[in-house]
Homo-oligomer: A and B are copies of this chain.
Amino acid sequence: MSTRIGFIGTGIMGAPMVRNLLAAGHKVQVWNRSAERLGALAEAGAVLCQQPRDVGVGVQALVCMLSDGPTCDQLLFGEQGATAGLAAGAQVVVMSSIPVPTARAQAARCQGLGLEYLDAPVSGGERGAREGSLAIMAGGSEAAFAAAEGWLGALGRPVHVGPAGCGQLAKLVNQLIVASTLATVAEGLLLAERGGADPAKVRQALAGGFADSPILRQHGERMLSGDFRPGGPAKWQHKDTRTALAEAAELGLALPVAEVVDRLFGEMVAAGDGDLDHAGVIRQLKRFNALAL
Protein backbone atom coordinates (compact mmCIF):
# COMPACT_ATOMS: atom_id res chain seq x y z
CA MET A 1 0.00 0.00 0.00
CA SER A 2 1.43 3.33 -1.04
CA THR A 3 1.42 6.17 1.50
CA ARG A 4 1.90 9.82 0.73
CA ILE A 5 4.61 11.14 3.03
CA GLY A 6 6.08 14.58 3.72
CA PHE A 7 9.70 14.56 4.91
CA ILE A 8 11.54 17.44 6.60
CA GLY A 9 15.30 17.12 7.03
CA THR A 10 17.20 15.28 4.31
CA GLY A 11 20.61 15.20 5.95
CA ILE A 12 23.00 12.28 6.48
CA MET A 13 20.21 10.16 7.98
CA GLY A 14 17.18 11.66 6.24
CA ALA A 15 18.35 11.38 2.63
CA PRO A 16 18.84 7.59 2.56
CA MET A 17 15.57 7.18 4.51
CA VAL A 18 13.72 9.09 1.76
CA ARG A 19 15.36 6.84 -0.84
CA ASN A 20 14.15 3.73 0.98
CA LEU A 21 10.60 5.10 1.21
CA LEU A 22 10.61 5.84 -2.54
CA ALA A 23 12.07 2.40 -3.31
CA ALA A 24 9.21 0.82 -1.33
CA GLY A 25 6.70 2.61 -3.59
CA HIS A 26 5.66 5.50 -1.36
CA LYS A 27 5.11 9.03 -2.66
CA VAL A 28 7.48 11.40 -0.86
CA GLN A 29 7.65 15.20 -0.87
CA VAL A 30 10.60 16.78 0.87
CA TRP A 31 11.82 20.04 2.27
CA ASN A 32 15.29 20.82 3.57
CA ARG A 33 16.92 24.03 4.80
CA SER A 34 19.90 23.60 2.48
CA ALA A 35 19.69 22.39 -1.13
CA GLU A 36 22.40 19.75 -0.63
CA ARG A 37 21.29 16.27 -1.79
CA LEU A 38 17.91 17.59 -3.05
CA GLY A 39 18.81 17.25 -6.73
CA ALA A 40 19.68 13.57 -6.31
CA LEU A 41 16.50 12.94 -4.31
CA ALA A 42 14.40 14.61 -7.04
CA GLU A 43 16.03 12.29 -9.59
CA ALA A 44 15.10 9.35 -7.34
CA GLY A 45 11.45 10.50 -7.51
CA ALA A 46 10.96 12.85 -4.55
CA VAL A 47 8.90 16.02 -5.05
CA LEU A 48 10.75 19.13 -3.84
CA CYS A 49 8.81 21.69 -1.81
CA GLN A 50 9.64 25.41 -1.61
CA GLN A 51 8.36 26.02 1.93
CA PRO A 52 8.00 23.89 5.11
CA ARG A 53 4.27 24.55 4.92
CA ASP A 54 4.04 22.97 1.47
CA VAL A 55 5.54 19.66 2.60
CA GLY A 56 2.47 18.90 4.71
CA VAL A 57 -0.10 19.50 1.99
CA GLY A 58 -1.95 16.38 0.95
CA VAL A 59 0.15 13.87 2.96
CA GLN A 60 -1.00 11.16 5.36
CA ALA A 61 2.22 11.31 7.40
CA LEU A 62 4.74 14.08 7.99
CA VAL A 63 8.23 12.96 9.12
CA CYS A 64 10.67 15.19 11.00
CA MET A 65 14.35 14.12 10.89
CA LEU A 66 16.11 17.17 12.29
CA SER A 67 18.98 17.74 14.68
CA ASP A 68 17.09 18.74 17.84
CA GLY A 69 13.81 19.53 19.59
CA PRO A 70 13.67 23.32 19.07
CA THR A 71 14.32 22.92 15.30
CA CYS A 72 11.48 20.36 15.10
CA ASP A 73 9.17 22.68 17.06
CA GLN A 74 9.95 25.64 14.82
CA LEU A 75 9.46 23.81 11.52
CA LEU A 76 6.36 21.97 12.69
CA PHE A 77 4.53 24.65 14.65
CA GLY A 78 6.24 27.97 13.80
CA GLU A 79 4.88 30.57 11.42
CA GLN A 80 4.48 28.84 8.04
CA GLY A 81 5.30 25.57 9.85
CA ALA A 82 4.48 22.25 8.24
CA THR A 83 1.51 21.36 10.44
CA ALA A 84 -0.36 24.34 8.94
CA GLY A 85 -0.54 22.42 5.66
CA LEU A 86 -1.71 19.11 7.20
CA ALA A 87 -5.30 17.91 6.93
CA ALA A 88 -7.11 16.83 10.13
CA GLY A 89 -6.33 13.19 10.98
CA ALA A 90 -2.89 13.22 9.33
CA GLN A 91 0.01 12.17 11.51
CA VAL A 92 3.23 13.83 12.61
CA VAL A 93 6.12 11.37 13.09
CA VAL A 94 9.18 12.85 14.83
CA MET A 95 12.15 10.56 14.19
CA SER A 96 14.77 12.93 15.65
CA SER A 97 16.16 12.17 19.12
CA ILE A 98 14.67 14.84 21.36
CA PRO A 99 13.91 15.08 25.12
CA VAL A 100 10.97 13.04 26.45
CA PRO A 101 9.10 16.15 27.73
CA THR A 102 9.49 17.85 24.32
CA ALA A 103 7.95 14.80 22.63
CA ARG A 104 5.03 14.82 25.10
CA ALA A 105 4.47 18.54 24.52
CA GLN A 106 4.47 18.01 20.74
CA ALA A 107 1.94 15.19 21.14
CA ALA A 108 -0.37 17.48 23.15
CA ARG A 109 0.02 20.26 20.59
CA CYS A 110 -0.83 17.87 17.74
CA GLN A 111 -3.88 16.61 19.60
CA GLY A 112 -5.05 20.23 19.89
CA LEU A 113 -4.71 20.57 16.11
CA GLY A 114 -6.63 17.34 15.39
CA LEU A 115 -3.43 15.53 14.32
CA GLU A 116 -2.04 12.13 15.32
CA TYR A 117 1.49 12.00 16.76
CA LEU A 118 4.28 9.44 17.03
CA ASP A 119 7.78 9.90 18.41
CA ALA A 120 9.92 7.34 16.64
CA PRO A 121 13.67 7.90 17.17
CA VAL A 122 16.07 5.46 15.59
CA SER A 123 19.29 3.62 16.34
CA GLY A 124 21.69 2.16 13.81
CA GLY A 125 23.35 5.25 12.33
CA GLU A 126 24.01 6.18 8.74
CA ARG A 127 24.57 2.56 7.77
CA GLY A 128 21.22 1.49 9.24
CA ALA A 129 19.53 4.37 7.42
CA ARG A 130 21.09 3.33 4.13
CA GLU A 131 20.34 -0.38 4.55
CA GLY A 132 16.81 0.14 5.88
CA SER A 133 17.76 -1.72 9.07
CA LEU A 134 17.19 0.98 11.71
CA ALA A 135 15.87 0.06 15.13
CA ILE A 136 12.76 2.29 15.36
CA MET A 137 11.37 2.92 18.86
CA ALA A 138 7.84 4.28 18.51
CA GLY A 139 5.74 6.05 21.15
CA GLY A 140 2.11 7.03 20.59
CA SER A 141 -1.40 5.59 20.40
CA GLU A 142 -2.12 2.10 19.05
CA ALA A 143 -3.98 3.68 16.15
CA ALA A 144 -1.13 6.04 15.25
CA PHE A 145 1.36 3.15 15.31
CA ALA A 146 -0.89 0.90 13.24
CA ALA A 147 -1.22 3.64 10.61
CA ALA A 148 2.56 4.12 10.36
CA GLU A 149 3.86 0.57 10.87
CA GLY A 150 3.70 -0.33 7.18
CA TRP A 151 5.80 2.48 5.73
CA LEU A 152 8.11 2.57 8.78
CA GLY A 153 8.96 -1.00 7.80
CA ALA A 154 10.75 0.39 4.73
CA LEU A 155 13.20 2.10 7.13
CA GLY A 156 13.86 -0.71 9.61
CA ARG A 157 12.23 -2.62 12.47
CA PRO A 158 9.51 -0.49 14.12
CA VAL A 159 8.45 -1.53 17.65
CA HIS A 160 5.62 0.17 19.52
CA VAL A 161 7.03 0.66 23.01
CA GLY A 162 4.30 2.75 24.70
CA PRO A 163 2.41 6.07 24.61
CA ALA A 164 3.86 9.35 23.28
CA GLY A 165 7.33 10.10 24.67
CA CYS A 166 8.16 6.41 25.18
CA GLY A 167 10.02 6.16 21.88
CA GLN A 168 12.40 8.82 23.18
CA LEU A 169 12.57 7.05 26.55
CA ALA A 170 13.52 3.78 24.82
CA LYS A 171 16.22 5.62 22.89
CA LEU A 172 17.62 6.94 26.18
CA VAL A 173 17.61 3.40 27.59
CA ASN A 174 19.52 2.31 24.48
CA GLN A 175 22.11 5.07 24.94
CA LEU A 176 22.46 4.32 28.65
CA ILE A 177 23.09 0.61 28.08
CA VAL A 178 25.62 1.47 25.35
CA ALA A 179 27.49 3.91 27.64
CA SER A 180 27.61 1.49 30.59
CA THR A 181 28.67 -1.43 28.40
CA LEU A 182 31.47 0.69 26.93
CA ALA A 183 32.77 1.52 30.43
CA THR A 184 32.42 -2.12 31.48
CA VAL A 185 34.32 -3.51 28.50
CA ALA A 186 37.02 -0.86 29.07
CA GLU A 187 37.39 -1.99 32.70
CA GLY A 188 37.60 -5.65 31.67
CA LEU A 189 40.21 -5.10 28.98
CA LEU A 190 42.30 -2.88 31.25
CA LEU A 191 42.21 -5.51 34.02
CA ALA A 192 43.31 -8.16 31.50
CA GLU A 193 46.18 -6.02 30.24
CA ARG A 194 47.44 -4.90 33.65
CA GLY A 195 47.34 -8.52 34.86
CA GLY A 196 49.72 -9.56 32.09
CA ALA A 197 47.25 -11.19 29.66
CA ASP A 198 46.99 -10.26 25.99
CA PRO A 199 43.76 -8.17 25.98
CA ALA A 200 43.14 -8.85 22.27
CA LYS A 201 43.22 -12.59 22.98
CA VAL A 202 40.96 -12.16 26.00
CA ARG A 203 38.47 -10.24 23.86
CA GLN A 204 38.62 -13.06 21.31
CA ALA A 205 38.15 -15.73 23.99
CA LEU A 206 35.09 -13.93 25.44
CA ALA A 207 33.32 -13.44 22.08
CA GLY A 208 30.47 -15.91 21.74
CA GLY A 209 29.92 -16.23 25.52
CA PHE A 210 27.75 -14.33 27.98
CA ALA A 211 30.18 -11.40 28.09
CA ASP A 212 29.79 -10.89 24.35
CA SER A 213 28.18 -7.81 22.78
CA PRO A 214 28.53 -5.61 19.71
CA ILE A 215 30.37 -3.23 22.07
CA LEU A 216 32.95 -5.92 23.01
CA ARG A 217 33.45 -6.83 19.35
CA GLN A 218 33.47 -3.44 17.66
CA HIS A 219 34.35 -0.89 20.33
CA GLY A 220 36.58 -3.39 22.16
CA GLU A 221 38.69 -3.57 19.01
CA ARG A 222 38.92 0.23 18.87
CA MET A 223 39.97 0.33 22.54
CA LEU A 224 42.84 -2.03 21.74
CA SER A 225 43.92 -0.39 18.48
CA GLY A 226 43.58 3.12 19.94
CA ASP A 227 41.63 4.29 16.89
CA PHE A 228 39.20 6.80 18.39
CA ARG A 229 38.09 8.69 15.29
CA PRO A 230 34.31 9.07 15.73
CA GLY A 231 31.96 7.19 15.30
CA GLY A 232 29.90 8.45 18.16
CA PRO A 233 31.69 11.34 19.90
CA ALA A 234 32.07 11.02 23.67
CA LYS A 235 30.48 14.46 24.21
CA TRP A 236 27.22 13.24 22.63
CA GLN A 237 27.37 10.08 24.71
CA HIS A 238 27.76 12.25 27.80
CA LYS A 239 24.81 14.42 26.76
CA ASP A 240 22.72 11.23 26.47
CA THR A 241 23.69 9.89 29.92
CA ARG A 242 22.93 13.36 31.36
CA THR A 243 19.49 13.37 29.72
CA ALA A 244 18.75 9.80 30.81
CA LEU A 245 19.71 10.53 34.43
CA ALA A 246 17.61 13.72 34.39
CA GLU A 247 14.65 11.63 33.22
CA ALA A 248 15.36 9.03 35.94
CA ALA A 249 15.57 11.78 38.58
CA GLU A 250 12.24 13.14 37.34
CA LEU A 251 10.82 9.66 38.02
CA GLY A 252 12.48 9.51 41.47
CA LEU A 253 14.76 6.72 40.29
CA ALA A 254 18.42 6.28 41.31
CA LEU A 255 20.58 4.33 38.83
CA PRO A 256 23.89 3.73 40.63
CA VAL A 257 25.82 2.19 37.71
CA ALA A 258 24.67 4.84 35.23
CA GLU A 259 25.71 7.57 37.67
CA VAL A 260 29.29 6.32 37.78
CA VAL A 261 29.36 5.90 33.99
CA ASP A 262 28.00 9.43 33.49
CA ARG A 263 30.74 10.79 35.76
CA LEU A 264 33.38 8.90 33.76
CA PHE A 265 32.17 10.35 30.45
CA GLY A 266 31.87 13.81 32.03
CA GLU A 267 35.47 13.64 33.19
CA MET A 268 36.50 12.42 29.74
CA VAL A 269 34.90 15.46 28.11
CA ALA A 270 36.42 17.78 30.74
CA ALA A 271 39.85 16.27 30.03
CA GLY A 272 39.53 17.35 26.39
CA ASP A 273 38.62 13.97 24.85
CA GLY A 274 35.00 14.91 24.03
CA ASP A 275 35.49 14.72 20.27
CA LEU A 276 36.99 11.23 20.40
CA ASP A 277 34.82 8.19 19.78
CA HIS A 278 33.02 7.05 22.95
CA ALA A 279 35.19 3.89 22.96
CA GLY A 280 37.94 6.29 24.09
CA VAL A 281 36.44 6.04 27.60
CA ILE A 282 39.27 3.52 28.20
CA ARG A 283 41.62 6.54 28.09
CA GLN A 284 39.64 8.15 30.91
CA LEU A 285 39.84 4.92 32.91
CA LYS A 286 43.62 4.93 32.46
CA ARG A 287 43.79 8.63 33.41
CA PHE A 288 41.69 7.86 36.51
CA ASN A 289 44.33 5.25 37.42
CA ALA A 290 47.24 7.59 36.65
CA LEU A 291 48.41 5.29 33.86
CA ALA A 292 50.12 6.41 30.65
CA LEU A 293 47.70 7.01 27.76
A210:B123 contact, CB within 8 angstroms: yes
A288 to B100, CA, bound (A): 25
B257:A211 contact, CB within 8 angstroms: no
B210:A174 contact, CB within 8 angstroms: yes
A100:B177 contact, CB within 8 angstroms: no
For A139, list chain B residues within 8 Å (CB). 197
- Which of A64-72, A73-81, A158-166 is found at the contact surface with chain B? A158-166
B248:A205 contact, CB within 8 angstroms: no
Which of chain A's residues 179-204 have a Cβ closer than 8 Å to chain B? 180-181, 183-185, 187-192, 194-198, 201-202, 204
B257:A201 contact, CB within 8 angstroms: no
A74-105 contact mask (Cβ, 8 Å, vs B): 1 or 0: 00000000000000000000000000100000
Q: A184-B181, A188-B173 are in contact. Are A206 and B244 (CB under 8 A)?
A: no
A288 to B259, CA, bound (A): 14
B205:A137 contact, CB within 8 angstroms: yes
Count chain A residues whose beta carbon lies closer than 8 angstroms to a beta carbon of B: 74
A41 at the interface (CB under 8 A from B): no
A202:B214 contact, CB within 8 angstroms: no
Q: A170-B205, A257-B183, A257-B184 are in contact. Are A191 and B159 (CB under 8 A)?
A: no
Closest 4 CB pairs of A and B: A159-B205, A162-B197, A180-B184, A177-B211
A159-B204, A173-B206, A173-B211 known, 14 other contacts, Cβ within 8 Å: A135-B206, A160-B201, A163-B196, A165-B195, A165-B196, A173-B202, A177-B188, A178-B210, A180-B180, A180-B183, A183-B257, A184-B258, A191-B247, A257-B260
